[in-house]
Chains A and B, each alone.
Chain A
Amino acid sequence: MLRDLAHYLLSHPSLAGLSTPFSGIPAGTLLLYAFIANGLIAVLLAKPIALLLPFPYRNQRTSWFFVILIATVPFLGLIVAISVATIITRLNRQTMVAEPQTITIPPFGVEMRARNIHMGAGGAWAIIRAKEPGTKRGVRALLALDPRASRQTSPLVRAALQHPEEDLRLLAFGLLDQREGRLAEVIKDTLDERENLPPRADLSSFEKRLAFLYWELIYQDLSRDHLRTLAIRHAKEHAHAAILLRPNDATLHILMGRIAMMEDRNMEAREHFENALSLNAAPAQILPYFAEVRFRVGDFLALRHLASDFPSLLDMPSIGPVVRFWAKTS
């Protein structure tokens, strides 16, 4: 059937009928006409076809592509153009999924010499506090504090700002500046990355990351005064945004709870911790905060229940004695 149709359409009589008007014209001229006609078609159709493109492409200068495609490849170029505009451009995957990275064991160079000197945070602090540590020892002590960026070491490094030795002061200043700078840089990169996402991409992971980054600034005690309130506000905003998109993310609830605790909104904090628990967060991760919140709002009865449900809580140095006290009195 199809074959017959094709046969007819391409048969000499049919083609001859089509080509009668052109019969007298030399092939070269005819070809020129064909090129021109096809070029005109290309110019006329490129714009309408470009309108078929998916939304983000629509306002760009896309017609060139279609003009060239249709003009250089007669007949089928038109089909290529239409299929590009309608189907092929819509094939792309929504967003790139971050690939999991595996960490391999680092190759150790045989060149490396063995070393054995170590210094804990306490030792480092003792050296810095000594009146005359000597620049070299002092520098080593400060550098030993540095990689342990945490809540405890930031104040120590900050205290070294007052050290009589100028080298140490400057180094301490630089170290604090760097810690904050590193986080600020990651935050900036993340914000940029979020800006450049394709439309309708999933933003929740970015919001979550940002919330935790701002939290890190607070946690490491790197922002002070108003900068601290600013960081808390940012952390809160991003955590809110993230939790709207991922209502079942227990870690986000914990974060929200801790932010609320920091701002003394204890009832709200308790709610978040309860949510986190119900979402199967590891109890050991939450209980200390949970207990503290209950303690703060004066819900000692609940605290006692908590203690009997999770006896490990009694091992916590800050809460254990309180719980034991209340357990005794009732």
Chain B
Amino acid sequence: MAGIGFELRKLLRHDDYFGLIRAYSYAGIIGAGPWVISILGVVLLGILSTNHVFPPNLVSQFETSVTYLIAGSLIFSGIWQLAFTRYVSDRLFAREHDLVLPNLNGLLVAAMGSGFVLSGTATLFLFEGTGALYRLLMSALFCLLTGVWVITVMLTGLKHYRAIISAFVVGYGVALSVGLLLRPFGLVGLLFAFFLGQFLLFVGLLAVIYRSYPSRQFLAFDFLKRGQMYASLLACGFFYNAGIWADKIVFWFTPQTSQAVIGPLRASAIYDLPIFLAYLSIIPGMAVFLMRVETDFVDYYDQFYDAVREGGSLSHIRNMRNGMVTSAKTGIFDIIKIQSLATIVAFVIGPAVLRFLGISLLYIPLFKIDVVGAGLQVVLMGILNIFFYLDRRARVVWLTVIFFGLNLVLSIISTHLGLYFYGFGFSISLLVSVLIGLVWLDKDMERVEYQTFMLQPWSH
């Protein structure tokens, strides 16, 4: 029979006919949650050891080492985090549950292997003057942490919040108690305790994966094949984590604001403590964020895309769009409200807390501006998350690049402007990113259906 009408069916039966809209959950971005626990655990271990370790500077050596490990492994694994989470979401969407486990194992091989190349080289050549055992532990911890972050972010993306939190509590609990036991052995003892805690955490997280995503295959590298992961997600995973740490790194390596601690590692006594304490103030904001975005918003979101995919009517699609917009707006405003409240409380009780912890009151102005910045970081997370849901990856890349660039540049400028400007780089970069993000979000939200339908990529 002549004519090509016949073959049209091949066109429409194409599998990703509308599989294009599978932006799944990116709650992965709130991987910040676990690292707040990490920072808390380390600070606590340090404080508790202060009077039991000799010489006393061992504690700051330990804290600095672990902070570098966390920062380094977060930035390094950040490259994979989001892209891989999306890869897994896509597999789940395509009902290929049995590809999760083998590819995660593959990713662990790739990430930990390449991480080892990095950490091995660094410990071999950069850590002049430190012991072999210390270096060995540092290298091992870097690889292990990389593995832990990768699994954590994937599990957060898949919303296994409870499993993650319990694994972290157990891991850091053990690290803390063993740490107290091993205090007499100094730096190596403390690091080993931390190592043990991370080991338990890693095993626990692995167990969750094996239990939830059984597979007949053990190891696969499908995710590395061309077109399986989004380059844009590789980029924004990196820039997001790099952005978070940019200001700290600037302060660590500016001579006026930092001191050498151990080997090549430097710390900024003025900058670090206030900002880590300030991060404690984001807990209420995070909770609201989880509640609002992950429940109300996601409800509408799911219904919106279900209606699109499963062939809902336009009025239904529009109703769900409106619900999505409203819940996104209230969600972000709720984060802002609760975070403002938390900031005020931190302003009021901050000095008392610092005094109680025996920290100089000189830190107060810096602490205040850091609290504001940390609050804004929660808002930025919320915005990024909504962009992820809408699959506006280009927006996210730009926002994270802006955040990273501004944080780097403004922090360098602030180190030159003097003590009273410390912390402004961090906060202003966040403020600008948040404002840009809000403007973009407003624009995109109004045109969600238009963008979903009309600006659809042709080949997936």
Question: Does B associate with A?
Answer: yes
Which residues of A line the B interface, CB within 8 A?
Answer: 3, 6-7, 10, 22, 27-28, 30-32, 34-35, 53, 56-57, 60-62, 64-65, 68-69, 71-77, 79-80, 83-84, 87-89, 91-93, 96, 107-112, 198
Interface residues of A, dominant DSSP? helix
- Asked whether, in the complex, the Cβ of B143 is within 8 Å of the Cβ of A80, the reply is no
Q: What is the minimal beta-carbon distance from A203 to any residue of chain B, in angstroms?
A: 16
- Measured in the bound complex, the distance between the Cα atoms of B123 and A27 in whole Å is 10
List B contacts of A62 (CB < 8 A).
218-219
Task: Please encode chain B, from 346 to 390, with 1 for each CB lying within 8 Å of some chain A CB and 0 for all others.
Answer: 000000000000000000000000000000000000000000000
B459 interface contact, C-beta 8 A: no
Given contact pairs A27-B131, A31-B132, A61-B219, A92 touches B124 in the complex (Cβ within 8 A): no
B339 to chain A, nearest CB (A): 36
> Which of chain B's residues have a CB closer than 8 A to the CB of A6?
181
| B144 is an interface residue with CB less than 8 A from chain A | yes
B273-293, CB < 8 A from A:
none
Known interface pairs A88-B203, A96-B214, A111-B314; 20 further A-B residue pairs with C-beta atoms within 8 A, sorted by A's residue number: A7-B184, A10-B182, A27-B131, A28-B128, A34-B132, A60-B219, A65-B108, A72-B115, A79-B199, A84-B206, A87-B207, A91-B207, A92-B211, A92-B214, A93-B211, A109-B312, A109-B313, A109-B314, A111-B315, A198-B214
Decide if B218 touches A27 in the complex (CB within 8 Å).
no
Interchain CA distance A31-B137 in the complex, whole Å: 10
**18 A-B residue pairings within 8 Å (CB atoms):** A28-B124, A28-B125, A28-B132, A31-B124, A31-B132, A35-B120, A57-B217, A57-B218, A72-B112, A72-B139, A72-B143, A76-B140, A80-B199, A92-B211, A92-B213, A108-B313, A110-B315, A111-B313
The distance in angstroms between the C-alpha atoms of A108 and B136, with both chains bound, is 65
Tell me which residues across on chain B come within 8 A of A93, comparing CB atoms.
211, 214
- Evaluate contact between A80 and B109: CB separation under 8 angstroms: no
Tally of contact residues, B, Cβ under 8 A: 52
Interface residues of B in 230-284 (CB under 8 A from A): none
Quote the shortest CB–CB distance from B97 to chain A (angstroms): 7
* Distance between B15 CB and nearest chain A CB, rounded to angstroms: 14
Q: In the complex, A10→B129 CA distance in Å?
A: 22
Q: Is B135 an interface residue (CB 8 A)?
A: yes
Q: Which residues of B contact A65 (CB under 8 A)?
A: 105, 108-109, 218-219
B135 touches A10 (CB 8 A): no
| A11 → B minimal CB distance (Å) | 9
